[in-house]
């Protein structure tokens, strides 16, 4: 057999790697244009609505106007997180300064004990800031936020209460989204060695693993608990099509959350669950060929249902991490994630220099609530950039 010259092999590998990284580079170049516009539009909106204490972009409304978030909303930290990801990729101090500015606006939420969304608000913003700068001030804020989150733990039920609203419907609701907030507690345990954080996070993950999933590994959205007996009162939905349907972003939260929980604990039960959730997603007959899911896998009018890009970006990010732990399926996971990012880049990008600086279109906030349907959403953009960074790190290694 004729041997291929070493130089040709090296050139093939170089061109291959450059081709892969070029897709990441081009998307971050697009993001730089968009986020520069987003900062300008957000500052304008904040200036025009000073009394409302807005701090970040969230979406675009039905009238085509920019919607901003106050600090208390669960979406308030994602924009600062995007800016930190821009700094991580470019190492340009202008993004660092912008990230610091928008991160400072979220800090007040560290003592807001009325919500479980500490991870979304503070770990995605201040957490990324601390990871990239090691600023001790950020560390103190995060630890205080972790104690605030831990205060919502209900020991008899073994879970962290998600919502305080809708007391007429639920006594102590826990949503699958809450898995995403556990990373703050795992981080706090490592930084402080206070085992309370670890025990609470593991208890919540174990209870969610036991009660949130059906036999096919689709997830309930809301599980309601009796905080005295710990018994389950009901299993239902709030943003999905029906109580027994599989809300697309809920599946993404589960895949991401249990992959993260495995990283933090080494518990293979979490890894196996993440694999099962991913298998449910990618063997589902209602998953479109471009791998961008409809807002619910059981929505009644498929294929005439809105897609949810936010579910796709979160899933892609989870797949890249999961590929590091499940060697037998790592190539498949990366191929799926690569295809998601490719299709998003080709068919779901916002207009360059338009759409108020959002990166991606066609997400769904709450279809049952007729809110943010077929709109850009800031968290879809956040997980898009995170997935791109994870892709780059894997390919570089």
Please, which residues have CB within 8 angstroms of residue 300's CB and are 6 or more apart in sequence? Answer: 241
Closest of 380, 279, 282, 391 to residue 326, by C-alpha: 279
Q: What is the dihedral of CA 129, 135, 138, 140, to 10 degrees?
A: 150
25 CA to centre of own chain:
21
**Phi, psi (5° rounding) for residue 364?**
-130, 125
Conformational region of residue 291, where left means phi above 0, alpha means psi within -120 to 50, and beta covers everything else: left
Is 177 an active-site residue? yes
Is 61 an active-site residue? no
Helix (H, G, I), strand (E, B) or coil at 372: strand
CB 291 within 8 A of CB 361: no
Q: Which of 92, 164, 177, 338 is catalytic?
A: 177
CA distances from 40 to 35, 45, 46, 108, 125 (A): 8, 9, 10, 23, 19
**Could you identify the residue written with the tokens 């807005």?**
54
Closest of 298, 340, 304, 305 to residue 319, by C-alpha: 340
Q: Which of 61, 117, 168, 296 is catalytic?
A: 117
Q: What are the counts of helices (DSSP H) followed by strands (DSSP E) for the chain? A: 13, 9
Q: What is the dihedral of CA 325, 330, 335, 337, to 10 degrees?
A: -10
CA gap 37, 154 in Å, rounded: 43
Using the Cα atoms of residue 354, residue 358, residue 361 and residue 362 in order, give the sign of their dihedral: negative
Exposure string of 178-195, with b = 16+ CB inside 10 Å and e = fewer, is: bbbbbbbbbbbbeeeeee
- For the annotated catalytic residues, the residue numbers are 117, 177
């Amino acid at each position: 057999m004729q041997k291929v010259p070493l130089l040709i092999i090296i050139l093939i590998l170089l061109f291959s790697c450059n081709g892969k990284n070029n897709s990441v580079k081009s998307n971050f170049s697009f993001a730089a244009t968009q986020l520069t516009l987003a900062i300008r539009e957000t500052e304008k909106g904040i200036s025009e609505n000073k009394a409302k204490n807005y701090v970040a972009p969230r979406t675009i409304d039905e009238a085509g106007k920019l919607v901003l978030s106050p600090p208390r909303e669960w979406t308030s930290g994602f924009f600062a997180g995007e800016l930190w990801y821009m700094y991580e990729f470019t190492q340009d101090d202008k993004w660092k300064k912008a990230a610091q500015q928008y991160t400072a606006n979220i800090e007040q939420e560290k003592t807001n004990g009325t919500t479980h969304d500490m991870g979304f608000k503070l770990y995605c913003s201040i957490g990324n800031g601390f990871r990239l700068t090691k600023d001790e001030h950020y560390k103190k804020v995060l630890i205080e936020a972790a104690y605030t989150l831990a205060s919502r733990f209900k020991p008899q039920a073994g879970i962290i209460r998600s919502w305080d609203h809708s007391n007429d419907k639920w006594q102590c609701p826990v949503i699958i989204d809450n898995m995403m907030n556990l990373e703050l507690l795992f981080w706090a345990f490592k930084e402080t060695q206070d085992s309370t954080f670890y025990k609470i996070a593991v208890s919540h993950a174990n209870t969610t693993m036991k009660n949130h999933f059906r036999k096919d590994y689709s997830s309930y959205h809301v599980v309601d608990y009796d905080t005295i007996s710990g018994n389950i009162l009901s299993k239902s939905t709030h943003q999905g099509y029906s109580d027994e349907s599989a809300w697309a972003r809920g599946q993404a939260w589960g895949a991401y959350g249990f992959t993260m929980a495995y990283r933090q604990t080494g518990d293979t039960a979490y890894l196996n669950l993440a694999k099962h959730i991913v298998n449910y997603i990618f063997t589902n007959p209602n998953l479109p060929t471009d791998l961008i899911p409809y807002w619910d896998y059981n929505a009644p009018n498929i294929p005439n249902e809105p897609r949810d890009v936010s579910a796709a970006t979160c899933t892609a990010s989870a797949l890249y991490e999961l590929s590091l732990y499940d060697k037998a399926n790592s190539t498949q996971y990366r191929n799926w994630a690569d295809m998601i990012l490719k299709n998003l880049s080709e068919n779901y990008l916002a207009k360059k220099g338009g759409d108020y600086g959002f990166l991606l279109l066609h997400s769904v906030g709450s279809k049952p609530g007729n809110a943010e349907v077929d709109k850009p959403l800031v968290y879809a953009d956040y997980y898009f950039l995170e997935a791109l960074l994870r892709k780059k790190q894997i390919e570089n290694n």
